[in-house]
Structure formats: C-alpha cells, structure tokens
Amino acid sequence: MTPAPQSYFWSAAQHSCQIWRSVLGFTLIHVVFFAATFAIFMGGGWLIGAHPATILDGATPAHTAIFFLTFLGYHLGLWLVVRFLHKRSFLTLFGPQKRVLWRQFRIGILIALGISFAAGLLQMFEPLLIAPQDQTQLERNLPTREWLLILIPALILIFIQIFAEELVFRGYMLQQLRARFQSVWIWAILPSVAFGLLHADPSTWGINAVFYVIHTSVVGIVLSFVTLRTGNIGAAAGLHFGNNMSMVLMGNAGSLDGFSLFVAEVDLMGWTTSASMMLQTVLVLVAFVIWWKLTQRQAPIANAVKAD
C-alpha cells in the first residue's frame, strides 16, 4: 500500500485504515446515531405532546424539525469514533485543510440548483405526455408568514443533516476505504450502494423505492468522485445541500413536507414518479460528465483516476 501524499483527501486515515477498525467505527457511529434518534424522538414527542411514532411522517414543522435533529447523532458518533478509535481530529473528515472549502460548497449548490432547474423545464412537457387527471397538482402547505418564520431554522437543520450524511459516507467511509484499497468498487460503489439502501422505503414509494435506491446510489458514487477530485468535502456537501434545500419550497405531500411552502400531490408509487427519478438520475450523470471533463484541465488536488 503506497502512502498517499499529505495533500490527498484520505491521507489522515492512512495510519488507522485496518478493515476491522473501519467496520467497528461504522458500526459504532450508527449505534450512537440510533441511540440519539431514540432519545430525540422520545424527548421531542414529550415536548410537543405527540406520540414519537407520529413524528416520522414529518407532517408539521415541529415533526420535521425533530426528524432532522436526529442527525446530530451522526455528528456525535463521528466525533467519538474518529477521536477515540482512530486517534485523529474530527476536522480531518473535511479534508487535509481541516475545514470546508466554502467556494466549492457554493459551486456545488449552484450546480444542484441548475440540475433542478433543468429537471423543472423538462417536466413542463408533462401535460403533453400524460392525462390531465394524472398531472402533478401543487397546493399551498403553509401560510407565507409561518413559512418565513421557519425558513432559516429549516435551512440550518437541513445543513446539519446533509453534513452528517456527507461526513459519514464521503468523509469517514471514503477516507477509510480509499486509504486501504485502490479499487473504485470498494471505495466508491460499495459505500454508495449502502447509502442508497438506507433510503429504501417500499411502504412510501412502492416499486419506485428501487428507482430511489438507484438514484441515491448513483448520486453517492458521483459525490465520492467529486470529493476525491477536489480533495475536500465542500463540493459534495454543496451539491447535497442544493438538492435538499428545495424541500423548503416544494415537497411531496405526505413525505417530510413540514417545511414546504407548497406540496405536490403526486402518486409516489406511480409511473410518473418513476420517470421523474430516472430523469433526475440522468441529469446528475450528464452534469458530472461535463464537470469531470472541464476539471481535468486543471492540476488535480486528489485525482481519483489514480485509484482505478
């Protein structure tokens, strides 16, 4: 195993990248996460006078806020595992700079918004393809005044959530696996499929749960390459944040829509949802190919091609 240069994203994990340590760390992170989730759901349910099981639907701003607060458990689990199991700083998860490169974060947000805009334009042709009764219907979900009051707290909670997921899968797992293995199947595809499977929810999506898992897996693979290519968590986090922040404007009715100004009345198990997911997956791949071609003209910080 050839030591990576200090500027490489995974360099901090070189001294403790044993398989047993990585598996134990990943397990302990999730033990802490699930324990924190249980505590936050119980405490949150008690504070708002609701049964914890009803919070999962995210039907109100309070329910959705409690759901997103559970991701603090990921941050706590990561800090404990990295500090005591791997004997390194939590900040090394961000990259060798030990901080977020905010310019990359902002670029990531703009790219994600561009993908969403392109998807929205293409979906304008929906009336030409499906019957009127099957078309997506938008409804007001929250009064404007109430929505404006929760907007900033909602974005902060989404920020906590996306960084939790990015630091676990594109920070901890990517660093640990890339420091130990060169195969792209192990450091990019395997953890990304695991990331996708965590989003599986057949009770909500039906057969579209398969397309949802495929989409999140593809996005995970793309974000892994982006992270190694840039040498920092910032770009991947920006892409993730730019994608998730759209839920404060429009959400799917009945699925974590508590922060949404509008909700779309769609059949989450229908073929139009399947087509929408496949379209978004294709757009992500197209954007990635364009970005990859453009950035190959620059001097790499941590070129993932060397791992192939």
Q: Which residues contact 6 (CB under 8 A, 6 or more apart)?
A: 96
Instruction: Please report the pLDDT score of residue 7 as a whole number.
Output: 66
E strands in 250-297: 250-252, 262-265
Q: Which amino acid is at 101?
A: L
Going by the DSSP 8-state scheme, the letter that residue 17 receives in this structure is -
Residue 84 C-beta-side C-alpha neighbours within 13 Å: 10
pLDDT per residue rounded down to tens, the chain (308 residues) = 344 444 689 999 999 999 999 999 999 999 999 999 999 999 999 998 888 888 877 779 999 999 999 999 999 999 999 999 999 999 999 999 999 999 999 999 999 998 888 877 776 665 555 545 555 667 888 999 999 999 999 999 999 999 999 999 999 999 999 999 999 999 999 889 987 888 788 877 888 889 999 999 999 999 999 999 999 999 999 999 999 998 998 887 777 888 999 988 777 787 778 888 888 899 999 989 988 888 765 545 444 444 33
Instruction: Please report the pLDDT score of residue 52 as a whole number.
Output: 82
Instruction: Please report the pLDDT score of residue 128 as a whole number.
Output: 53
**Alpha-carbon distances, residue 86 vs 17, 78, 247 (angstroms):** 9, 10, 36
Instruction: Please report the pLDDT score of residue 307 as a whole number.
Output: 37
Percent of the chain that is helix, strand, coil (3-state, to 5): 70, 5, 25
**Token pair belonging to 104:** 């990359």
Instruction: Please report the pLDDT score of residue 1 as a whole number.
Output: 39
Q: Note the residue count of the chain.
A: 308
Give the pTM. 0.87
Instruction: Please report the pLDDT score of residue 198 as a whole number.
Output: 81
Instruction: Please report the pLDDT score of residue 296 as a whole number.
Output: 66
Instruction: Please report the pLDDT score of residue 195 as a whole number.
Output: 79
Instruction: Please report the pLDDT score of residue 250 as a whole number.
Output: 86
